[in-house]
Amino acid sequence: MVDLKLGKLPDRTPVKLSISITPDLQAALQDYAAVYAETYGVEEAIAELVPAMLAAFLEGDRNFMRRRDARLRGQK
């Protein structure tokens, strides 16, 4: 079997998550979506922005990423 530079793609099946948020957070998300639209000229639904925002937050948390990697390797 030939090894390809691109590995097998991970599971991309969407997982639905339902949460409740405060009115202040809802207003901030609406404002963020408006600024996003002004910046990029494309209107995106908050539901489309939130997953990317969460991913960016988690990827930007160096301590979380370090500890997550250790847990995945079986360390604490």
Round to whole Å and give the CA distance between 36 and 26. Answer: 15
Q: Report the chain's mean pLDDT, rounded to a whole number.
A: 93
Q: What does pTM read for this prediction?
A: 0.76
Tell me how many helices (H) and strands (E) the chain has.
3, 0
| Position 19 confidence tier, pLDDT thresholds 50, 70, 90 | very high
